[in-house]
């Protein structure tokens, strides 16, 4: 069950805001593509008795508006995500991110590292996709006319997403929660293909993240990584570990790109343990 959402910020993003925590601050979640805040339901249910949990739907996703003339690049999503933080008046918070939700939320966090109590990341990236030969090839293909056609007419974003699942079954009812949010070709091109195209088109934005990544070098951080992810392979995890050598790490050998969907109970336990043990304001 997903909690109700309310419109927040100048763009009216749908935002879940539940629970309370007297001293630990808020836990803010940032989802990826082609999902929405539904992907955080297990963690929100487990953490909200002790923490204020905030989970926006990025513009065009989930229960947020989908204006046809909006900018759906990661840069624009990052600005809107930051507007939610500012509208809610959050001065200190923990960030939990996955997939494209990493770059979208980390942009503001790296601009204001003094606000970040802790960081939890699930299979994501924080540098240009074009920084490796494999990534450059993939980014060029993702922005092509062929991919535009595939995204519009064959719902290819979900084909890719399902292929990045790990060893276990892919429940049909789970994917219905995501595919049902993009029922037509125009919505898939407008929102989903915009992010595919950004793998190459938004290289300066992704480079800016890498250039500032050291600003969170001493922030308590925990990484949960599905090792069967064919999109963000273990070398991406190794790159995070090099950038944040202080971070604690949980690897899930049978999980793929969606650890918190594939092994939700394990992920709940790991995140809850980290939040309970992290020392705010110092390295873990």
Q: Residue 249: in which H helix or E strand, if any? A: strand 248-252
Cα–Cα distances in angstroms (integers) from residue 256 to residues 163, 178, 195, 227, in the given order: 9, 17, 20, 6
What is the model's pLDDT at position 169?
Answer: 78
Q: Specify if 283 maps to a domain.
A: no
Range of the domain at 144: 6-277
Residue 225 — φ and ψ, nearest 5°? -130, 125
Q: Specify if 1 maps to a domain.
A: no
- The CATH number for 145's domain is 3.40.50.1820
Question: Distance from CA of residue 194 to its chain's centroid?
Answer: 16
Beta bridge partners of 252: 226
Q: Specify if 211 maps to a domain.
A: yes
What is the model's pLDDT at position 97?
Answer: 98
What is the model's pLDDT at position 23?
Answer: 46
C-alpha–C-alpha distance, residues 76 and 59, integer Å:
9
CB 209, CB 126: distance < 8 Å: yes
Residues sharing a CB contact under 8 Å with residue 10, sequence separation 6 or more, in sequence order = 83, 87
Q: Specify if 108 maps to a domain.
A: yes
Q: Specify if 249 maps to a domain.
A: yes
CB 121, CB 102: distance < 8 Å: yes
Q: Specify if 284 maps to a domain.
A: no
What is the model's pLDDT at position 21?
Answer: 67
Q: Specify if 282 maps to a domain.
A: no
Residue 108 — φ and ψ, nearest 5°? -70, -35
Q: Which residues of the chain have pLDDT under 50?
A: 23-24, 279-284
Q: In the chain, where does DSSP find H-type helix?
A: 41-47, 74-87, 101-111, 133-142, 145-154, 156-163, 172-179, 185-187, 194-201, 203-212, 234-243, 259-262, 264-277
Q: Is the peptide bond before 2 cis (omega within 30 degrees of 0)?
A: no
What is the model's pLDDT at position 1?
Answer: 75
Q: Specify if 217 maps to a domain.
A: yes
Structural domain count, the chain: 1
What is the model's pLDDT at position 284?
Answer: 34
CB 29, CB 2: distance < 8 Å: no
Instruction: Give the SS3 label for residue 25.
Output: coil
The closest alpha carbon to 172, from 164, 160, 180, belongs to 180
């Amino acid at each position: 069950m997903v909690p109700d959402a309310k419109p927040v910020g100048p763009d009216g993003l749908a935002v879940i805001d539940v629970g309370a925590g007297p001293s630990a601050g808020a836990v803010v979640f940032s989802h990826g593509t082609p999902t929405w805040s539904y992907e955080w339901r297990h963690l929100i249910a487990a953490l909200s008795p002790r923490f204020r949990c905030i989970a926006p739907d990025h513009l065009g996703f989930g229960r947020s508006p989908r204006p046809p003339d909006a900018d759906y690049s990661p840069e624009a999503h990052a600005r809107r995500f930051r507007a939610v933080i500012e509208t809610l008046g959050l001065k200190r918070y923990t960030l939990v991110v996955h997939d494209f939700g990493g770059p979208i939320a980390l942009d503001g966090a790296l601009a204001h590292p003094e606000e970040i109590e802790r960081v939890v990341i699930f299979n994501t990236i924080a540098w240009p996709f074009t920084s490796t030969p494999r990534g450059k090839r993939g980014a060029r293909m993702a922005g092509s006319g062929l991919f535009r056609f595939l995204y519009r007419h064959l719902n290819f974003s979900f084909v890719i997403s399902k292929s990045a699942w790990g060893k276990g079954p892919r429940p049909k009812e789970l994917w219905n929660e995501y595919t049902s949010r993009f029922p037509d070709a125009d919505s898939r091109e407008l929102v989903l293909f915009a992010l595919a195209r950004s793998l190459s088109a938004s290289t300066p934005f992704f480079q800016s993240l890498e250039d500032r990544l050291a600003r969170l070098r001493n922030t308590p951080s925990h990484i949960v990584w599905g090792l069967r992810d064919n999109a963000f392979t273990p070398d991406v995890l190794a790159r995070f570990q090099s950038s944040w050598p202080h971070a604690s790490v949980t690897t899930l050998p049978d999980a793929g790109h969606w650890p918190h969907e594939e092994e939700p109970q394990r992920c709940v336990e790991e995140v809850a343990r980290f939040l309970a043990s992290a020392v705010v304001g110092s390295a873990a």
